[in-house]
Chains A and B, each alone.
Chain A
Amino acid sequence: MKLKYFAWVRERIGKPEETIEPPPGVKTIEELIAWLAARGETYAHAFETPRVIRAAIDHAHVKQDAAIAGAREIAFFPPMTGG
């Protein structure tokens, strides 16, 4: 699946997107965040406060208990500040 990062999540990780295959045990957004946070220092920094991280699956907002099975694109970003 493709992952996309925006705003300070993107800056902390150091890239706007990547393609990853999480292990089968990673089934929800919450678990994906925990798995990503363990991938290295930049990821740990980006996901150090999981509750502030917002997620979208295939362009739709989801909560962190959402299942990631079948997702083509998952995005992680801070709370939105447009308008």
Chain B
Amino acid sequence: MTANVIIRIQESDFDVAREIASLSAGRNDIGAVVTFTGICRGSEDGADIAALTLEHYPGMAEAEIARHAETAMARWPVTGIRVVHRVGRITPGENIVLVVTASKHRQAAFEAAEFLMDYLKANAPFWKRVDRPDGTCWVEARDHDDAAAARWTKS
């Protein structure tokens, strides 16, 4: 089984259907594809926002996601992974992040996608700044994101 992993960090939007097609094209061993799309909400902590601005650490962000993709490939029988994370200014309703996992059966695809998202949120060097009409502030990390990532290290 060849590892089929593509990770991209980009300002532009992504096309979910195209990413799925790139995972399954030319092969008939895939029985399940799971996608997770993170979308920019119109409010944060009860207050309307104008946009999010996402900053990342170039080089390390790609390396961290790649490391977790390798862990997922070793832990579950997944045939392919796509992770696309946007940076820059993102307005409410727009896509932020995409994780796609493909496998022979659904359980591995579901679990690998959830693992990747949990690790990405807690460990990948990205930061969200909230832009409001009256100023900006940085989104604070949430303890439950760390807890979500930590549960995968059990057992």
A82-B60 in contact given A56-B125, A77-B127 (Cβ < 8 Å)? no
**Is B126's CB under 8 angstroms from A81's CB?**
yes
**Is B96's CB under 8 angstroms from A4's CB?**
no
Asked whether A83 is an interface residue with its Cβ less than 8 Å from the other chain, the reply is yes
Give every chain A residue within 8 A of B61 (Cβ-Cβ): 82
Question: What's the tally of chain A residues with a CB closer than 8 Å to chain B?
Answer: 16
How many Å lie between the Cα of A40 and that of B98 in the bound state? 41
Asked whether A7 is an interface residue with its Cβ less than 8 Å from the other chain, the reply is yes
- Residue among B123, B127, B141 with the highest chain A CB neighbour number at 10 A: B127
A56-B57 in contact given A80-B122, A82-B85, A83-B97 (Cβ < 8 Å)? yes
Closest to A54 in B: B125
How many Å lie between the Cα of A8 and that of B123 in the bound state? 17
**Is B63's CB under 8 angstroms from A80's CB?**
no
How many Å lie between the Cα of A59 and that of B56 in the bound state? 12
Asked whether B89 is an interface residue with its Cβ less than 8 Å from the other chain, the reply is no
Give every chain A residue within 8 A of B117 (Cβ-Cβ): 83
Give every chain A residue within 8 A of B127 (Cβ-Cβ): 6-7, 77-78, 80-82
**Is A80's CB under 8 angstroms from B123's CB?**
yes
Give every chain B residue within 8 A of A80 (Cβ-Cβ): 121-127, 141
Closest to B127 in A: A7
How many Å lie between the Cα of A59 and that of B126 in the bound state? 13
Asked whether A75 is an interface residue with its Cβ less than 8 Å from the other chain, the reply is yes
- Residues on A facing B (Cβ under 8 Å): 4, 6-8, 56, 59-61, 75, 77-83
Asked whether B132 is an interface residue with its Cβ less than 8 Å from the other chain, the reply is no
Closest to B121 in A: A83
**Is B126's CB under 8 angstroms from A83's CB?**
yes
**Is B97's CB under 8 angstroms from A6's CB?**
no
Give every chain B residue within 8 A of A7 (Cβ-Cβ): 55, 127, 129, 138
Give every chain A residue within 8 A of B31 (Cβ-Cβ): none
Separation in Å of the B147 CB from the closest CB of chain A? 13
How many Å lie between the Cα of A6 and that of B59 in the bound state? 13
Closest to B117 in A: A83
Give every chain B residue within 8 A of A61 (Cβ-Cβ): 64, 123
**Is A4's CB under 8 angstroms from B57's CB?**
yes
**Is B124's CB under 8 angstroms from A82's CB?**
yes
**Is B59's CB under 8 angstroms from A59's CB?**
yes
